[in-house]
Every structure is written in structure tokens, then in C-alpha cells.
Structure 1
Amino acid sequence: MLEFSRPPREPDLEVELHLLPTESGGRAEAPLQGYRVPHDFGLPGEMNDGLYEFTGEPPAPGASQRAFVWLLAPDRNYGRFEPGFEFSIWEGRNIGTGRIICVLNAALAIAAQQVAPADGFAAR
């Protein structure tokens, strides 16, 4: 199995990710650390890939877990996010939902102010 390696920059978001149960159209297995998946952030006709580092074990289908997310193209979402923003993740179909806990990349925040990292990130 490949070892997960963090990208060379700070994460963009801290999120709570919930995977649909397999019987409701979700994945058959838990994702791996470093999971990369398209997100629907509400931009018409556009998805935005993100890479996940889960704060604990990756969630099994039907479960939830917090994670740090690095967006492949964060510039597509400048000034659009705030805590509580909801999104979906996609693998040819909707397989889960997420909610932003903390906007770590200040350029992505609705307010043009510095956003402090979530508790525990600085210690990593």
C-alpha cells in the first residue's frame, strides 16, 4: 500500500465528511488516507477535486470523520466559503456529503480576514 504524503502547502479546509451507506448508493469500502475525490461546491457544471487527510481512521460507508482537505484548484472558490457550508462528493454519483468546519485558506473565506487554524492542526 502506498504511504500518504501531505502536499507541500497548508490545507485549505477542515471538514466533517459523511459517506452514504453502501445500500444507499455509497462506496463499498472506506477510502484511504490521501483520498482524492471531486466535490460539488455549487458552481454550475463544475467539480473541484480535493485530497483528504483524515484526523482519525478513514470513515466506513455510513460513517463520518473530520479531515483536512487540499483543493486541486482553490482559486475556483475564492471568497465562497464559511463554516457550515455544505457540499457533496462524487464518484460518478453522489456518495457523501460534507460540511466545512473551518476555512484554513483565508483566500477562500467569505470574509477577507485571516482565519485561524482549527484546534490540533498546528501540533501536527
Structure 2
Amino acid sequence: MNLCDNVSILITSTPPGEAPLWVRQTWVGLSLPLAQTCSHAHTHHTFGVLTRPRTRVGQWFARMFRRTARGSGYLVEAQAAIHLLADVDPVAANWWREHAPHLMQPGQYFLFQVGVAQLAPRRTRPPSPPDLLADITLVSGLVRGRRSGWRPNNDFGLKHLGHTMFNDAHIEFLDCQEVQPGQSARAELWFLAPDLQAGRLRPGFEFTVHDGSPIVVAHGVVISVLRQELLASN
């Protein structure tokens, strides 16, 4: 399949299905790569993840006798989606592995319906100069690497009313396109709200990287502050 390049979907509300509600709720907020040849929604025959016929013959008969549901939405490779979920909620990802192990095989897909997902083109390198040069090390226990164009939440020690205040940033790796768990790479960072870091940063400043949850997925160390107004005065 010639997949739709550089396009993903954002899950905006809890999808329907046979999985428990708490499992389905963990999809909300995740960005998942499309596994289809174009970016518009398609209509497909669908089976329940728990009640689907186990054989291709059974699935064929179900389609013939109209025992399937039909839904319009976006196809996502199930194995890749569960791997992405594992970084945010390992317990929910394990539910899928234990109760629907067939989804971990190649050629299995989730259909996220139009009402619960929207197109979210993957980010490209910003046109402005970067704010920081940093060394980023991914946590070794992750189930997948991270690619350039990553836009995670970052903890630079900011607080608001006693709570951690994250500062999102666009990240581009310099020496490779993808960094694997346990590996380090130099990266350029563009803050979405750079004014929050005014006068705070210096070489050697340490921060943590998060992916939509409190779980730390990487550790960072500032190599150079490239935007002058962010540099600490002493």
C-alpha cells in the first residue's frame, strides 16, 4: 500500500467499540499515522475487536450476509497504534495485547470514525531560527523511537499555582531522522511559547520531555541558547 505521506489523525473524543470505556478513553489526544492511500475518510466493513470472526472464511461470510457494521473513518495500523498508546498508558496497551492479540499481527487495522478523529498533518521544520540546541536522550524502556517533527511537552522547571507548567516545543534531530529508545542525539528546539523561558536558560540546563502524560520519555540538556532573550544573565 502506498500510504498517504506526512499525514496523521488526532483522536478528539472517545471512540465507540467493544473494549472497556476506560481503555477507549486513553486514545483521546493521541496522534496516529494514517495507513491508507489518501487523506479523506473511507467507508469500510468493520468487525468488533472481541467478536470478529477468527478466520478469513468467517469474515467473508459475515460480509456476504451483512453481519458487519459499516463505518466511515480513517484507517490506522493496529500494531503501530498500540505501540504509540503504550508510551502514554502501558496498562491500556496491555489490555489490547491480552484481549485482542490478533491486532498485533501485520495487516490489522483500527477504523477511527470521522466523529472521533480529525486530520492532523505532521509538523514540518519551522521557518524561523531555532531557540535551543540540546542533547536529548530517550528513555530505554520506550517501545518506539521518536522522529524529527516531534512536538512533545517539556518540563523546564516552570510552575503555575504550585503545578508543573509544560512548555511545548518542536524538535528536529540533527544527525539522524529518528532516535531509538536509549539513544542520544543533538536536536534543535523551537518553543511554542518562547517568552515563558525569557532569561532562564543556559548551557547545561537540564529538562525532561513528556508525550501528553506525566511519564518522562526523554531527558534533555541544553548545549547552546540560540535565542538571545532566553539566555540567563548570570
Partner amino acid, structure 2, of 1:101: I
Query: Kindly, what percent of the aligned residue pairs are identical?
Result: 36
- The equivalent residue for 1:15 is 134
1:59 aligns with 2:179: yes
- The equivalent residue for 1:97 is 219
- The equivalent residue for 1:28 is 143
Give the distance between the partners of 2:143 and 2:131, measured in 1 at CA.
28
- Deviation, structure 1 residue 11: 0.3
Give the distance between the partners of 1:55 and 1:7, measured in 2 at CA.
14
State which of 40, 49, 58 in structure 1 corresponds to 2:155. 40
Deviating above 3 A after TM superposition, structure 1's stretches of 4 or more consecutive aligned residues are none
Query: Bigger relative contact order, structure 1 or 2, given CA contacts below 8 A and separation 6+?
Result: 1
TM-score (norm 1): 0.81
- Deviation, structure 1 residue 4: 5.8
CA RMSD of aligned residues (A): 1.5
Unaligned runs of at least 5 residues, structure 2: 7-121
Structure with the greater alpha carbon radius of gyration: 2
Give the distance between the partners of 1:72 and 1:4, measured in 2 at CA.
13
The answer to whether the 8 A contact 2:123-2:150 is kept is no
SS of residue paired to 1:62: coil
- Deviation, structure 1 residue 90: 0.8
Give the distance between the partners of 2:226 and 2:233, measured in 1 at CA.
12
Partner amino acid, structure 2, of 1:105: R
Aligned residues: 108
TM-score (norm 2): 0.44
SS of residue paired to 2:146: coil
1:49 aligns with 2:168: yes
Give the distance between the partners of 1:64 and 1:75, measured in 2 at CA.
27
More displaced 10-residue stretch of structure 1: 55-64 or 74-83: 55-64
Unaligned runs of at least 5 residues, structure 1: 113-124
SS of residue paired to 2:233: coil
Higher normalized helix content (fraction of residues): 2
| Aligned ranges 1:74-113 → 2 under 5 Å | 74-91=194-211, 92=213, 93-111=215-233
Distance 1:48 1:4, change over 3 A: closer
